Amino acid sequence: MRLLMTLTYYRPYTSGLTIYVQRLATALARRGHTVTILTSQYDPSLPTNEVIDGVRVVRAPVAARVSKGVLMPSFGWLATALALHHDGMSLHLPQFDASGLALRGRMLRQPVVLTYHCDLLLPPGIINRAANAAVQSSNLLAGSLATAIVAYTQDYAEHSPYLSRFRSKIRVIPPPVEVAPLTPDAVSMFRQRWKIEGPVIGMAARLAAEKGVDVLLQALPEVLRHYPNARVLYAGQHEHVLGEEAYAQRLAPLFQQYREHWTFLGTLDRDDIAAFFANCDVLVVPSLNSTESFGLVQVEAMLCGTPCIASALPGVRQPVLQTGMGQVVPIGDSAALAAAIVEIVGNRPRYVRPREEIATRFNTEQTAQQYEQLFMELRATHGPTS
């Protein structure tokens, strides 16, 4: 099967969405399928064509940016040229170009599967409001043209205003989750490198307003009252995050205030991120809105033996609820977050589950197999392209 997968940003850009697509595409390629990624050349230094882990990546040059979005004049003809040589489309939303892609798939009688990763909620402002409206309109049209729509969880599908419009098309497929193999030496070396001594509260995300970093900062005084040597290790991009400069500036005084208890690790590679999770006493996902639909890092941490605390957002709360490996707290409630941190750090063994339980429920090969089955089913219905 020849699959064309599209999304606005792809690796090396780091987000839950890009990691999801990279894992899915690579797994499908391993299973013998031809996979092409069509995305933006958001960084001019990136090649317009390359092969990564058996997956062809085609990047359309960016002419201009609108908020977090990009304008790519050549995207349309690239999409048409590639679609003619593929059997199906896997579109990853939110994405401004999704409706045009879905229309091409419809005209070619190809199965078009949308994966809806999250809602798009841009910061206030006239330009952002216009961009938000344009993307939402395109997504709605794409949904009406799509053959099927994938959601991470039934919980998110039932609560998302977008997904609830297309209930008959929804297929729930758990996201692809994987972590690098861990050795005691790797965990110990990471601990020594970062001079870890007291309880570690982990957070892994881009420094963005919707991630709830400020909620964790507000919870710190109470945590430090119980554990004076506690420390936050923050993994992920924290500088020059697209569209988040003002948010970073607003939090800068607090980062300075807690500099003895807050360490930015930057973006970690797959080996270091596994060692990071294993060195955390608890991982927190205090996200604030529906731009977060699951939080892949929760399951990655659980696979490394680390309990999690998630905000009670639809979808985001599911890893903890399904595994029992942590706590769910009210959205934006710093006092509840602090109490949960104190509880889990003090009673950690109570929240740890066998790795096999987590791996059976969430793994990349299972996700790829379910996508494969979905496309095969849809192709049987629509007929392969000539």
Tell me the C-alpha distance between 39 and 79, whole Å.
10
Domains and CATH numbers, the chain: 2-176+363-382 (3.40.50.2000), 184-361 (3.40.50.2000)
Ordered alpha helix ranges (H), 227-305: 245-257, 270-279, 296-303
Contact (CB, 8 A) for 236 and 267: yes
Tell me the C-alpha distance between 164 and 142, whole Å.
14
Tell me the C-alpha distance between 265 and 205, whole Å.
11
Residues in the chain: 386
Using CB atoms within 10 Å of the CB of residue 79, give its burial: 0 to 12 exposed, 13 to 18 middle, 19+ buried: buried
What residues are paired with 39 via a beta bridge? 59
- Cis peptide bond upstream of 12, omega within 30: yes
Over residues 288-330, the pLDDT tens digits come to 998 889 999 999 999 999 999 999 999 999 999 999 999 999 9
Tell me the C-alpha distance between 199 and 232, whole Å.
9
Contact (CB, 8 A) for 296 and 20: yes
How many angstroms from the chain centroid is the CA of residue 99? 22
Of all residues in the chain, the percent with pLDDT exceeding 90 is 80
Q: What is the pTM of this model?
A: 0.86
Mean pLDDT of 89-101: 91
Tell me the C-alpha distance between 373 and 385, whole Å.
17
pLDDT for residue 360: 92
State the pLDDT confidence band at 69, using cuts at 50, 70 and 90.
Answer: confident
Over residues 172-184, the pLDDT tens digits come to 999 999 999 989 9
Cβ-count burial 305-333 (b if 16+ within 10 Å, e if not): bbbbbbbebbbbbbbbebbebbbbbebbb
The helix-helix angle for 16-30 and 364-382 (nearest 10°) equals: 70
Mean pLDDT of 147-166: 95
pLDDT for residue 382: 65
Residue 206's nearest CA partner among 266, 151, 149, 148 is 266
H or E segment and range at residue 280: none
Sign of CA dihedral 40, 44, 49, 52: negative
What residues are paired with 150 via a beta bridge? 115, 171
Contact (CB, 8 A) for 112 and 91: yes
H or E segment and range at residue 282: strand 282-285
Number of H helices, E strands in the chain: 14, 16
Residue 133 has pLDDT above 90, yes or no: no
Tell me the C-alpha distance between 217 and 230, whole Å.
13
Tell me the C-alpha distance between 279 and 286, whole Å.
19
pLDDT for residue 122: 58
With a CB cutoff of 8 Å and minimum separation 6, the contacts of 138 are 95, 96, 97, 98, 99, 100
How many angstroms from the chain centroid is the CA of residue 309? 17
Structure tokens, 328: 């769910």
State the pLDDT confidence band at 137, using cuts at 50, 70 and 90.
Answer: confident
Mean pLDDT of 182-203: 95
Tell me the C-alpha distance between 6 and 19, whole Å.
13
Tell me the C-alpha distance between 97 and 73, whole Å.
11
Q: What is residue 348's DSSP assignment?
A: G
Q: Which single residue is written with the structure tokens 């609560």? A: 159
Where is average pLDDT lowest: 52-56, 125-129, 281-285, 352-356?
125-129
Tell me the C-alpha distance between 31 and 20, whole Å.
17
State the pLDDT confidence band at 385, using cuts at 50, 70 and 90.
Answer: very low
pLDDT for residue 15: 83
